[in-house]
A and B are shown apart, each in its own frame.
Chain A
Amino acid sequence: MSIELINIWYIVAAALFIFGLKQLGSPATAVRGNLLSSVGMLIAIVVTLFNAQVLSFQWILGAALIGAIIGYVAAQKIAMTSMPEMVALFNGSGGIASLLVGWAALYNIGNTTFTDITIVLSIVIGGLTFTGSILAWGKLSEIMTSRAVVFGAQRAVNALLLIALVTCSVMFVLEPSVTSPYLFAIVGLACLFGVMAVLPIGGADMPVVISLLNSYSGLAATAAGFAINNNILIVAGAMVGAAGIILTNIMCKAMNRSLANVLFSGFGAVKVASKVEGEVKPINAEDAGLILEAAQSVTFVPGYGMAVAQAQHVVRELGEMLEENGAEVSYAIHPVAGRMPGHMNVLLAEANVPYDQLVEMDDINPRISNVDVAVVIGANDVVNPAARNDENSPIYGMPIINVDEARTVFVLKRSMASGFSGVDNPLFFGENTRMLFGDAKESLSHVIGEFK
């Protein structure tokens, strides 16, 4: 197939990516959108195999087969609660692929200086995406501590690393060679940089990091596209990069923090919140059941704790019972609840909660004072009124779901330990708050038992 014809097919693939992404924007068309985009990918792959440059196929087919099997098994086996880890790993594999493509492009003949620069870029971005994603996976799966890791000279070390990386890149571009020691230095430093970049970021900030790494994996593909002069890589990579940046921005806004603050502050390592005094009022499942039975409107506010307790199915069961009882049931979801953007929505969808019952923070807040019972399940910081009232609180200014304004609040909690950010929550001491201690899943099962 001629290069011209291949490029025409690439345009078709790009158009399918665009339509696919557009249709991913609405729940009704999203499945089709994903399908369109995968057809675009298939077209791009198949026509590339017809490129005259491709002479042997055994390596390609062997590697693709292994990759496809790994990808298939991973996608089928993964539990919905572990989706953030999965996305992090897929991000990482995209990153390392771009690094390798850039590296291999060095063996092409007749590279210009511009090409060499883009090769270095694809190696650097691909490398830091790879190790950053692996580290994010480690934090999310709690193989390592998910708290922010901060040490004294961190900034100095990072600055040195950056200087070394830039120096090596310049030296390499001045005299590019596949055996240049600077090449290996760049690969090593880029990988180290990815680790250092994710290390100071705490678990509660993971939605931001995942979105950002997603963006990087796209940018790495774009850089690789420049390195091998390929349009489709540039177009598709840039769209992914833009998408990731938008999500990153939405997550940052939802925490009222700048990206720089998330990336560099090591939030969660410092605790300066003012102490909250008051009395906690516990409630048992029996009384909770009675109150819920009388409620006209109930809103569930899920957080990461619901995922940990695997409580989404009992939540839905309780929700359905309340609906049969005549109550209006909704699920209010904070943009950064969970460990990745939209994490809670996926879990509730898995438990068969219809998506039109899922409401966003901005929609529930104006009518929260009419809600009879707000049930907080494993959420903490995103419902912490200190974000509104206490200027000394580290999370002051973060938009929250104002559950404290509901007529009654149930908080399902394992114990009185503070949330991920280590901030005390005055909600627990509120006049209208009742604490239902214990495992969220068990507690809800007891409440359901009371209902029957």
Chain B
Amino acid sequence: MEAVLLGLVLMLSIFLGFELISKVPATLHTPLMSGANAISGITIVGAILSAGAELEAVATILGALAVMFATINVVGGYLVTNRMLSMFKKKDTDQSGGKS
């Protein structure tokens, strides 16, 4: 039963993802991708559970490595997306905010 429920959640999330993304203008494709990429770092939640559970030493090490990689993904992904997005400006707005 648990598996069926999770399957339902999966299906709905995929549909939601399709709906959310299909109308994004080409201009934002790169930030969208790196933003979505940062979200895929959610696997850090699983990594924390493994690293902190005090199972066997191997599991802890695997978990800790996973935490490290997932954190790179999350922190790097969000920061770089933010850096890109803050460069997108409309015409005739103040040019001074160029952060790069």
Contacts and interface: CB of A to CB of B under 8 A. Distances in A.
A360 B26 contact: yes
B30 A343 contact: yes
Contacts of B79: 71-72, 75-76
A341 B29 contact: yes
A244 B25 CA distance: 15
Interface residues of A, number: 114
Given A30-B28, A87-B34, A45 B80 contact: no
Interface residues of B, number: 87
B68 A63 contact: yes
Interface in B29-48: 29-48
A21 B91 contact: no
A208 interface: no
Given A53-B53, A231-B9, A221 B100 contact: no
A247 B23 CA distance: 11
Contacts of B84: 80, 83, 346, 349
Interface string B68-100: 111111111111111111111111110100101
Nearest to A103: B62
Contacts of A49: 48, 52
A299 interface: no
A352 B18 CA distance: 31
Interface string A349-392: 11010111110100000000000000000000000000000000
A238 B14 contact: yes
Contacts of B88: 27, 30, 349, 355
Nearest to A101: B46
Contacts of A78: 80
Interface string A327-352: 00000010100001111011001101
Interface string A79-109: 0100100110011011011101101111110
Given A93-B70, A354-B89, A233 B43 contact: yes
A31 B97 CA distance: 14
User: Would you call the interface of chain B mostly helix, strand, loop, or mixed?
Assistant: helix
Given A22-B20, A236-B42, A352-B95, A87 B35 contact: no
Nearest to B98: A352
B10 A222 contact: yes
A355 B51 contact: no
Contacts of A244: 33, 36
B87 A21 contact: no
Nearest to A91: B37
A234 interface: yes
A222 B67 CA distance: 16
Interface in B1-32: 2-3, 6, 9-10, 13-18, 20-32
B68 A66 contact: yes
Contacts of B46: 98, 101, 105, 224-225, 227-228, 230, 233
B85 to A, nearest CB: 5
A296 B44 CA distance: 54
Nearest to A179: B58
Interface in B45-67: 45-56, 58-67
Interface in A60-75: 60, 62-64, 66-68, 70-72, 74-75
A57 B52 contact: yes
Interface string A31-72: 101110110010011001101011111011011101110111
B40 A236 contact: yes
Contact of B52 (A27, A59, A91, A358): A59
A247 B17 contact: no
17 contacts: A18-B20, A25-B23, A34-B78, A45-B44, A63-B51, A68-B75, A93-B72, A94-B37, A96-B66, A97-B66, A100-B66, A101-B62, A237-B13, A242-B13, A242-B17, A246-B18, A346-B31
Given A34-B35, A87-B33, A107-B55, 14 more contacts: A18-B16, A26-B28, A34-B31, A38-B78, A56-B54, A59-B61, A93-B73, A97-B73, A217-B37, A225-B43, A341-B29, A342-B26, A352-B89, A354-B93
Interface of B: 2-3, 6, 9-10, 13-18, 20-56, 58-93, 95, 98, 100
Report, nearest first, the 7 A-B pairs whose CB atoms are least far apart: A67-B71, A242-B17, A342-B29, A71-B76, A71-B75, A54-B52, A341-B29
Interface of A: 17-18, 20-22, 24-28, 30-31, 33-35, 37-38, 41, 44-45, 48-49, 51, 53-57, 59-60, 62-64, 66-68, 70-72, 74-76, 78, 80, 83, 86-87, 90-91, 93-94, 96-98, 100-101, 103-108, 114, 178, 210-211, 214, 217-218, 220-222, 224-247, 250, 333, 335, 340-343, 345-346, 349-350, 352, 354-358, 360
